[in-house]
Chain A
């Protein structure tokens, strides 16, 4: 899955699961407990060099230094929004870049992580889609977005809503979730993590089986023909099939499912959409998040106005579907939903002037 990005010559150890660390120490002939110690240094003590790992044997440290890099990456650039949101730019393997958004809200710090460089899904309204697909992120590159921001250690919530489609990079996303939620890792509750998908059904099913994190689905319109013009994935994974799959799972307890809905003027904000949404989602305990459209260059789409969004919300609520409006954050630094892109950086690296 990660073959698209040039593998660094010295493989990083950050991003390995406990099982993988056990294999590494076993092959090196080191004592088995070294794996737990390593996990502790990497994911709890935030070590950035093998020298710091003082309870490891000298032989162990030497072996690690000879064969691995720690592999944590510091951000190349940080931008701050007037609303407190920050956007981090991280280098990824192969000379590429990814973006991460940190969104503070009262006591909460939510980090929006990327799972791919670029995206293959090509949604009409999304800036990331416009750069095409450049590569998969490793679990280490995903978790590093939590580990290497200034707010590391204070993160209360994580959303996989940055660049890329998480379930098109399923193995690495699942590994990153394991590191974030395991006792030997960051020990975060999976209930503080939400993975957002466009509706790649096989990946979604595996995720629902193997992880306990919340699920968010980019819905945007309940109508097949409209969704096809907005989201090419509708051809392969129609939203009706996605919903049918979701209905097989229990979201009435601690695990939640939500639906993301960007509001486009005159396109998906009419009473018939309310009607069809209520029909489509009937029987699912869920929430709809209405999102203001953040226009991207050259877009033929226009966002709904606040009045329409409020009335759409009220109508859905009166149909019994819990509906909220997501606050737009970090728009001035292009950190808001649908605005993440490293296209210009890719162009620069391909045509250095």
Chain B
């Protein structure tokens, strides 16, 4: 059984060689890469990823459920990047170095709002697949419709609590604009719940400023920035 081989979380500075089971381009320039799960983890945690021992690892949020047989990450190709163009070319059977999962971007298990842009959906998708989506609301902002990753599956779990915002084009059923525009237009925001933010720096700081201005205590705001 796979489960018996799964390790408890350990030192994240050690990298472990794993074999890739799939690597699919799920939107232009965006890849979903998987390998057989090696460790237990909590949804929202991250792993360090590297192609070889000579390059410093990069950090990615796990983008799969904590009981899924495979662990996955979601990444886009960064032009001129050292890692992602090569990682995009990996095929099943190729090797990758990964660390044990770690990090404290963990759901409280209570009602929460999750706000993300682009591939920043990854930790929330992991939370949804780990059974944490029922009490929460997810807001996902993108530039084009193709970037609403896992849309059908998320919609089936979260229904009306899944809000999509598209700033680059009008998409039926989605708010036309940025997540900050959508949030600004709301009359009221709950102040007694936790807010989880994940994406690029400017979105995170803008949304955080907006939430604080609307009376949400900063202690209730947790952010992860992709850099």
Interface residue A235 (Cβ < 8 Å from any Cβ of B)? yes
Of A3, A120, A205, A301, the residue contacting B225 (CB under 8 A) is: A120
Interface 1/0 per residue, B183-197 and A, CB below 8 Å: 000000000000000
Contacts of A236 in B (CB 8 A): 46, 59, 103, 224
Q: How large is the interface on A (under 10, 10 to 19, 20 to 34, 35 or more residues)?
A: 20 to 34
Interface 1/0 per residue, B115-137 and A, CB below 8 Å: 00000000000000000000000
Q: How large is the interface on B (under 10, 10 to 19, 20 to 34, 35 or more residues)?
A: 20 to 34
Contacts of B209 in A (CB 8 A): 130, 298
Beta-carbon contact of B218 and A122 below 8 Å: no
A338 to B122, CA, bound (A): 31
Contacts of A29 in B (CB 8 A): none
Of A84-92, A103-111, A226-234, the one touching chain B: A226-234
A133 to B225, CA, bound (A): 11
Of A124, A202, A301, the residue contacting B208 (CB under 8 A) is: A124
Closest residue of chain A to B202 (Cβ to Cβ) is A132
Chain A nearest Cβ from B192, distance in angstroms: 16
Interface residue B9 (Cβ < 8 Å from any Cβ of A)? no
Interface residue A179 (Cβ < 8 Å from any Cβ of B)? no
Contacts of A124 in B (CB 8 A): 208, 218
Contacts of A234 in B (CB 8 A): 104
Chain A nearest Cβ from B221, distance in angstroms: 7
Interface residue A290 (Cβ < 8 Å from any Cβ of B)? no
Interface residue B205 (Cβ < 8 Å from any Cβ of A)? yes
Beta-carbon contact of B56 and A202 below 8 Å: yes
Interface 1/0 per residue, B143-170 and A, CB below 8 Å: 0000000000000000000000000000
Beta-carbon contact of A3 and B201 below 8 Å: no
- Which A positions have Cβ atoms within 8 angstroms of B? 1, 3, 118-122, 124, 129-133, 168, 202-203, 205-206, 224-225, 228-229, 232-236, 238, 241, 298, 300-301
- Which B positions have Cβ atoms within 8 angstroms of A? 12-13, 46, 56-57, 59, 79-80, 102-105, 200-202, 204-206, 208-209, 212-213, 217-219, 221-225, 227
The 11 sampled A-B contact pairs (Cβ below 8 Å) are A119-B201, A121-B225, A131-B202, A132-B201, A133-B200, A203-B56, A229-B221, A232-B225, A235-B105, A236-B224, A241-B12
